[in-house]
Chain A
Amino acid sequence: MNRPTKLLNRKTAGYSSLITFAVLLLAWLSGFSSRLFAVIRFESIIHEFDPWFNYRATAYMVQNGFYNFLNWFDERAWYPLGRIVGGTVYPGLMITSGGIHWILHALNIPVHIRDICVFLAPVFSGLTSISTYLLTKELWSPGAGLFAASFIAIVPGYISRSVAGSYDNEGIAIFALQFTYYLWVKSVKTGSVFWSAMAAVFYFYMVSAWGGYVFIINLIPLHVFVLLCMGRYSPRLLTSYSTFYILGLLFSMQIPFVGFQPIRTSEHMAAMGVFALLMAVAFLKHLQTVLSKTEFKKLFIAGALIAAGIVFLMVVLATVLGVVAPWSGRFYSLWDTGYAKIHIPIIASVSEHQPTTWFSFFFDLHILVCAFPVGLWYCIKKINDERVFVVLYAISAVYFAGVMVRLMLTLTPVVCMLAGIAFSCLLEVYLKEDNTVSIPKADETDEPAVEKKNLYDKAGKMKRPRHDNSHEANGLGSNLKSVVIIAILLMLMMFAVHCTWVTSNAYSSPSIVLAFHNSHDNSRNILDDFREAYYWLSQNTADDARVMSWWDYGYQIAGMANRTTLVDNNTWNNSHIALVGKAMSSTEEKSYEIMTSLDVDYVLVIFGGVIGYSGDDINKFLWMVRIAEGEHPKDIRESDYFTDRGEFRIDAEGAPALLNCLMYKLSYYRFGELKLDYRGPSGYDRTRNAVIGNKNFDLTYLEEAYTSEHWLVRIYRVKKPHEFNRPALKKQERTISSPSFVSRKTIKRKKGYIKNRPVVVKGKRANKK
């Protein structure tokens, strides 16, 4: 990073590179350490749901090699269908951590793959802040870059996806995203094939890492398109985009999961269209140099109209003919927020697919959300080719972040960059006079984020010669300046405090280990029920046992218990999930039929009624019903599970269908006898604050196999047909229940008669036998 400044004055260059290095190092360190809350409070453990699959896949790859991983058919998932893992994952994450593991082991450093997976995201957050620095430096100035790097290191919107243990695609994808954008901006600036080829390479890495690569392959063409519309065409643009697009296209098709999508699906069509358009424009520009002005005008209008028409027709035709696949459901839900709710309940059921609230913008970005429009304004005011890019980036990311909570993640980097620009400009104005007052060394304060800003002050100092020219022009009072500076610093300090607070309280729970504070003796208790039950499964059930549970727990069961699951978090088969939902929401007898048809050995439910855990299966139950209803509308109706007044109640007034369904019975089996405290009634559900409605029942087709210490996880064994609770009878004791009608057919009266039919008496012979 100190090479570009090489030509500058040796002394200044040395200082500036030292400061840059120090700030980036501190940003990396503070970003890394603020992501370690979960590791320090709990342990080095994989969090939540999806990371467990990624971890399992990585462990498989490390054990069996890369090619076996690509060919991996996972028969432990989606029983009886199985899952072709190699072809249905973005392997970038596994390859990254597998590669690190390989290098470390080649150096004989025996680090367990789990620890690599746990610490991958925090390590990559440092790389993200470096790439953010580089990108912002290209867009504005190194000072703004340092601001942006410090912001992104600790901003909660990014930390939420990259704490230690949250081993997910996003952890490395944001780095790949930022770095691809940096390389792209660099290539647009220089028009160099090298940079655009590098951009394509990193785009390839991004494709291998996250489905969000579609954002890149739409944003870059949009950038090119807008530049064309603004009349900012240049040969540099032609070189960089055509190199990037062709290489990127070829690279992206190498990922098995992506395959031919880049040339067949609508999501990728914009890139192709812009490529064609750019070619056309370049051709016209070339013609312009050859032909005269009037000739060219005619040709341009005719040619443009025809070309546009042909492209449009081709896209429509291809879509209609099915060559190009229409947009997938998740993308529709990006445009129409109500779409998922109506058509795909399984997407709507995931909380991270909900629209974002205003609150969460502030929660995740704090002061940056206020500062970033300022930066955007500066960029628009002093527009150039690459600032067009950041403006488009900001606008599209804001839109997507508003649609889905999850996409807050793509907004965060651009907010950091623009806020960095804003703060940099502010300080540039207000720090001018303070330049004369030199603060010799960076004082090592406890607050890393603030410290970086202090360091920035010194970075500004380098630009003194430039500022000195306009020194007299801006007549701002020094008092005003210091007040403003102190205000800014206070705000930044509050930002750092807020970030740490949010990270520590909201985003650092592994969610498989729960902790609560005991108010009596101020001790911390740990609820380890999930691991307890999963470990029980792994140790004390047959190796090929099939466990039925709601899809949320599929990855965890596969990862921690190593048992076959029916459905998991890779929700690719809606009807299979609906079948499980149907089994959960039917009566025991009916679901037994489904369970035997699916060879289920164990059923696992999450029940939070004893400890008041709200994320349990009864609270998710309506989604099971809804998803089941979507596929089996005749058997399952959502309205059956509500009371007449439309309430979802589990107490005595609850709907009978609910009180007798399998999920209810499995959750509350023998709970009716349990008294949580001496005064309270037995069977009091703490999560829903009600006494359960169906207390004394027995299970016929299942038996309790294991229940964890706080009843959080309950596992039932599905009985085999010969094990049912039916009393065994000896042969002679068996009686066939006789209907009330007894046949009077004897040998003598073979005719038979119809019961209750009036007997017609005919003369004397009637009674004669």
Chain B
Amino acid sequence: MEVFEKLMLLIYITCCSLLIVNGAIDPEVINKSVERNIDISTQLVKITHKIQATHTGKKPFSKYSFLVNEKEHGNLSFISIKDLSTKKEFKAQENKISAGYEYEITFPSTNNQHLHIECVFTKSLIPHPSKITQNEKQLVRYFGNAYFYTPYQVLTQKTTIQLPTSTVEYSTNVPMPVVQSGSRISYGPYENIDPLQISEIIVHYENQTPFLSVTRLERVIEISHWGNIAVEETIDMTHSGAELKGPFSRYDFQKDVRSGQSSIKNYKTILPASATGVYYRDTNGNISTSNMKIMKDSVELDLRPRFPLFGGWKTHYTIGYNVPSFEYLFNNGNDYLLKMRVIDHIFDDMVVEDATVKIILPEGASNVKLISPYPVNRKEDTLHFTYLDTFGRPVITFTKTNLVENHIHDFNVKYNFSNLNMLQEPFLVIIFFFILFGIVIVFIRLDFSIYKEKEN
């Protein structure tokens, strides 16, 4: 009996090792219970996992692997792993293994670990049909897995899918039990599911929320030590939902409420509370269709693109504002620290495909160090010349692709700057005028003519 058990265990271990090439995964860890909530009510797919992991051998463990399969990994924008009760963020090491991408989480040794893992996927809802006319509704399809994709055994698991409305064209109803109630579909509970199980589910449903993505964002932050930080964002935007087929009728759009529901007429951008001098323009000048509301803790811009955005339509604009530097720039003698957001809110549930952030430091800043909240692709530093600069301002540039709202975090830039540098430009102007007046004085007082007019 004992021998048999041992043999079984051996087989089980080999099986697991075969399945998971990476030996780091401890096969004795199991997921006692997994609760998944898949929110597909916007253009994003937000999956929150509540995982209770234990060790079958009752031994303390300090590593846990979270898997994202290869197909989904391409759309994965954001992942955060926390302790469910203490909300403490855990670091995770990303590895590529045969079963997909592994996030190897390390935490203090324990027998029983509760994890809260949040993933945000972009571009995972596929419009179907991909082209609709103006009056049709936008339907999208979600492809997912009924089971939690994990290298461990799962004792009990349940998945809930949150939809925007209760209108569902089709949803996979295996494996049982599948229940739809209102705008929710729940899969499970399922018990004793083996590792790496996949049972594909498709949900085809109505989603009229804005499918808007920023294809390119350029954010320029210019620091002036005279007390101002200017922020300018240049945005290329596309309606990434179902494309508009056939004509656009203004008559229908104005008269029929049901017409063009999936189009984007306006959206809100939230700026910092201290933002002043806000402008919203494009290459043709100011976009007059916008409103600004000053709230207690933010400035809310109600932006209306020049034209409603239908599927596949694009627009491009620039938005800019000033904030006082004392809120973001801190110093200790000549050591400065700039603490600002990498990206800011553009619209709710936004998707930024490609962001470039440029930080223009004052002329004469040295020893520049960038600390970003998450890995970014740092470009080569350049120089920027503006009002009366002589040797240029250092510019830090970095890029990052596939960003969502969860990426709104502060970066830190440390640099040294001597306040004497600020006097350089006023001195330049003073010297220029001094020389100018000197020349005028000399020119007027002296007679340069080569021949004297006769005085009568």
Contacts and interface: CB of A to CB of B under 8 A. Distances in A.
B251 A706 contact: no
B288 A703 contact: no
A316 interface: no
A75 interface: no
A704 B249 contact: yes
Interface stretch (B49-57, B90-98, B313-321, B400-408): B313-321
B285 A43 contact: yes
A539 B288 contact: no
B389 A532 contact: no
B247 interface: yes
A44 B286 CA distance: 9
A633 to B, nearest CB: 36
A600 interface: no
Contacts of A540: 312-314
Contacts of A44: 285
Interface stretch (A86-94, A107-115, A369-377): A107-115
Interface in B213-254: 246-251
B306 interface: yes
A531 B247 contact: no
A207 interface: no
A358 to B, nearest CB: 38
Interface in A516-539: 526, 528, 531-536, 538-539
Contact of B307 (A536, A560, A717): A536
Contact of A108 (B250, B306, B387): B387
Given A539-B313, A707-B250, A711-B250, A108 B388 contact: yes
Interface in B310-362: 312-316
B444 interface: yes
A513 interface: yes
Contacts of A532: 306-307
Nearest to B388: A108
Interface in A528-565: 528, 531-536, 538-540, 560
B314 A539 contact: yes
B291 interface: no
Contact of A531 (B285, B314, B316, B444): B285
A63 B124 CA distance: 41
Given A45-B285, A528-B288, A532-B307, A539 B251 contact: no
Nearest to B315: A539
A706 B307 contact: yes
B75 interface: no
Given A705-B248, A707-B250, A2 B313 contact: no
Interface string A100-119: 00000001111000000000
A649 interface: no
Contact of B389 (A108, A533, A704): A108
Interface residues of A, number: 38
A707 B307 CA distance: 9
Contact of B248 (A3, A109, A671, A706): A706
A198 to B, nearest CB: 17
Contacts of A476: none
Given A528-B306, A706-B307, A711-B250, A535 B282 contact: yes
B306 A2 contact: no
Contacts of B385: 108, 110
A526 B247 contact: no
A110 B388 contact: no
B313 A705 contact: no
Contact of A535 (B250, B306, B444, B455): B306
Chief secondary structure at chain A's binding surface: mixed
B443 to A, nearest CB: 9
B377 interface: no
Interface string A35-67: 000000011110000000000000000000000
B72 to A, nearest CB: 32
Interface in B367-388: 385-388
A704 B285 contact: no
Contacts of A491: none
A108 B386 contact: yes
B313 to A, nearest CB: 5
Given A108-B386, A674-B251, A703-B246, A531 B306 contact: yes
Nearest to A109: B387
Contacts of A7: 455
**Looking at B286, B385, B444, which has the most chain A CB atoms within 10 Å of its CB?**
B286
B284 interface: yes
A767 B114 CA distance: 108
Contact residues on B (Cβ < 8 Å of other chain), bracket: 20 to 34
Nearest to B386: A110
A467 interface: no
Contacts of A704: 247-250
B167 interface: no
A460 B307 CA distance: 61
A150 B314 CA distance: 50
A109 B429 CA distance: 13
Contact of A43 (B250, B286, B307, B386): B286
A644 interface: no
A670 interface: yes
A685 to B, nearest CB: 15
Interface in B277-299: 282-289
A709 B251 CA distance: 10
Interface string A597-612: 0000000000000000
**Looking at B247, B255, B284, B313, which has the most chain A CB atoms within 10 Å of its CB?**
B284
Nearest to B389: A108
A673 interface: yes
A532 B250 CA distance: 13
Contact of A2 (B255, B288, B316, B444): B444
Contacts of B316: 539
B388 A107 contact: yes
A3 B247 CA distance: 71
Nearest to B253: A707
Contacts of A528: 287-289, 306
A536 B263 CA distance: 15
B100 to A, nearest CB: 38
A108 B388 CA distance: 5
Contacts of B283: 535, 538, 560
A535 B307 contact: yes
Given A674-B251, A705-B247, A3 B284 contact: no
Interface in A673-728: 673-674, 703-709, 711, 714, 717
A534 B282 CA distance: 12
A728 B307 CA distance: 34
A592 B257 CA distance: 34
A304 B217 CA distance: 78
A372 B442 CA distance: 42
A535 B282 CA distance: 9
A528 B247 CA distance: 22
Nearest to A3: B444
Contacts of A707: 248-251
Nearest to B428: A107
A706 B314 CA distance: 14
A43 B289 CA distance: 14
Contacts of B288: 513, 526, 528
Contact of B249 (A42, A513, A526, A670): A670
A-B pairs, 9 with minimum CB distance? A707-B250, A703-B247, A108-B385, A532-B306, A704-B247, A670-B251, A526-B288, A45-B285, A43-B286
9 contacts: A43-B286, A45-B284, A108-B385, A526-B288, A528-B289, A528-B306, A535-B307, A670-B251, A674-B251
Interface of A: 2-3, 7, 42-45, 107-110, 513, 526, 528, 531-536, 538-540, 560, 670-671, 673-674, 703-709, 711, 714, 717
Given A538-B283, A673-B251, 20 more contacts: A43-B285, A45-B285, A45-B286, A108-B385, A108-B386, A526-B288, A532-B307, A533-B307, A535-B282, A535-B284, A535-B315, A536-B313, A539-B313, A539-B315, A540-B313, A560-B283, A704-B247, A707-B249, A707-B251, A709-B250
